[in-house]
C-alpha cells in the first residue's frame, strides 16, 4: 500500500493530557538506504517488520509493507541491526476526525517530539491542535532512519 | 537460528539426472551489507522474506530468519529491491543422508552452478558426489548478495 502522511514538530507537551494511548517503541534498522528501509520494531508487546520504499517528491506518499512478528524474533533481529537503535514513547490523540501519533524520543534523540497524521488524500483537510508546531513533511533528517544515523543531539 | 552450510562449485550437469525436485527462483535484495542482508524470493509458487546476519570466520555459520509471504507481496517488494535481481533453477539431490541444493544461474550469472549442503555440526562428515567441484565456503564473491552486485559475467 501507499501511505500518505504529514509530519510536524510539537511545541509543548500539552498533547499528553489528550492522549488515549501510550506505548513504548524500540526500533532498529536493517537498512537505511534512501530508496528502501527495513525496520524492526517492538511496540508494546508486539513485534513488527516494516519495509518502506522511496517517497514521492513532496515526501507525502511512500510504499509500505508491514508484518507482525513474535517479539522474541524482533529481539533477535534488533541485535543484527545497524547501530543507533531508537527508543521513544508514542501517544495517540484524537483531533477532529483524525488521529495524531506523537513520538517523544529518548536517548540520543532526547528533546525531539514529532507528530504525524495519516491521510487518505494528499489534499485532505484536518484540524490543527494548538500544540502542533512547524511542518517538517519531506524533510529527510526527521525520518527515523536518519535519526538513527544522525541523532538530534548531534544537530547544531 | 544458525545455519551451518558448505558451498561447492559444480563440475558438470550430471546432477540433473539425480535431482528429485526442480524449482525456479527469482530473488532480489533490499540490503546487501556484509553484516546483514534482506532478501525477497519467489520460489516456485511461494514468496519468502529472509534476513541473514554476519558469517563466522570460516563462513560456515550465519544467523538466519525467514518468513513465508504471499507471492503478490514478494512481487511488490522485488520492485523496490536493489538492481541485480537473480534468476536461477534449484535442483535438490539426495546424496547419502544429506540433500544437496544445486543452483544453476541465468542472466548475468549464466555459466555458474553452485552446490550447497546444510549440516547440523561444522565437522559433520558427508558423501561427495562425483559432480562436486572445488569448495568455495566462505568466499564472499559466491554469496548471492554479491552475485547480484558483481555478477559472474563481469569476473575475469
Q: What is the pTM of this model?
A: 0.78
3-class state of residue A128 by DSSP:
coil
A-chain residues near B77 (CB < 8 A) = 51, 65
Within-domain flag for A120:
yes
We report the CATH number of the domain holding residue B61 as: 2.40.320.10
Give the closest residue to B24 by CA, choosing from B10, B42, B50, B47.
B42
Nearest to B88 by CA among B39, B10, B22, B37: B22
Question: Residue B78 pLDDT more than 80?
Answer: yes
- Per-residue pLDDT tens over the stretch A33-82: 889 999 999 999 999 999 999 877 777 778 899 999 999 999 999 999 99
Asked if the structure places residue A156 within a domain, the reply is no
Q: Which residues of A touch B (CB under 8 A)?
A: 30-31, 33, 35-36, 38, 49, 51, 53-54, 63, 65, 67, 69, 73, 76-77, 80-82
Per CB distance under 8 Å, which residues of B are interface residues toward A? 30-31, 33, 35-36, 38, 49, 51, 53-54, 63, 65, 67, 69, 73, 76-77, 80-82
The complex's ipTM? Answer: 0.72
Q: Find the closest chain B residue to A83 by CA distance.
A: B35
Chain B residues inside the 8 Å CB shell of A3: none
Calculate what percentage of chain A has a pLDDT beyond 90.
79
Most distant CA atoms of chain B, gap in Å: 41
As for how many domains chain B has, the answer is: 1
- Out of A31, A51, A80, whose CB is closest to B63? A80
Residue A99: inside a domain: yes
- Residues spanned by the domain of B147: 2-154
Average pLDDT over residues A13-22: 95
- Mutation pick from B30, B32, B39, B81 vs chain A, by most beta carbons of A within 10 Å, is B30
Q: Render pLDDT for B17-74 as a digit per residue (tens, 0 to 9).
A: 999 999 999 999 999 888 999 999 999 999 999 999 987 777 777 889 999 999 999 9
What sign results for the dihedral spanned by CA atoms B40, B58, B119, B147? Answer: positive
Helix (H) or strand (E) holding A147: helix A144-149
Amino acid at each position: 500500500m501507499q501511505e500518505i502522511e504529514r509530519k510536524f514538530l510539537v511545541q509543548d507537551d500539552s498533547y499528553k493530557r489528550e492522549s488515549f494511548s501510550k506505548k513504548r517503541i524500540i526500533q532498529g534498522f536493517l537498512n537505511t538506504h534512501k530508496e528502501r528501509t527495513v525496520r524492526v520494531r517492538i511496540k508494546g508487546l508486539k513485534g513488527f517488520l516494516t519495509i518502506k520504499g522511496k517517497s514521492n517528491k513532496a515526501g507525502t506518499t511512500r510504499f509500505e509493507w508491514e508484518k507482525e512478528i513474535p517479539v522474541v524474533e524482533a529481539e533477535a533481529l534488533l541485535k543484527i541491526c545497524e547501530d543507533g537503535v531508537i527508543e521513544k514513547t508514542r501517544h495517540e490523540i484524537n483531533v477532529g476526525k483524525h488521529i495524531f501519533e506523537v513520538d517523544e524520543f529518548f536517548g540520543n534523540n532526547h528533546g525531539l517530539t514529532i507528530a504525524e497524521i495519516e491521510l487518505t488524500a494528499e489534499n485532505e483537510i484536518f484540524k490543527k491542535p494548538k500544540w502542533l508546531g512547524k511542518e517538517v513533511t519531506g524533510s529527510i533528517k526527521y525520518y527515523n532512519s536518519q535519526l538513527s544515523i544522525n541523532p538530534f543531539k548531534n544537530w547544531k
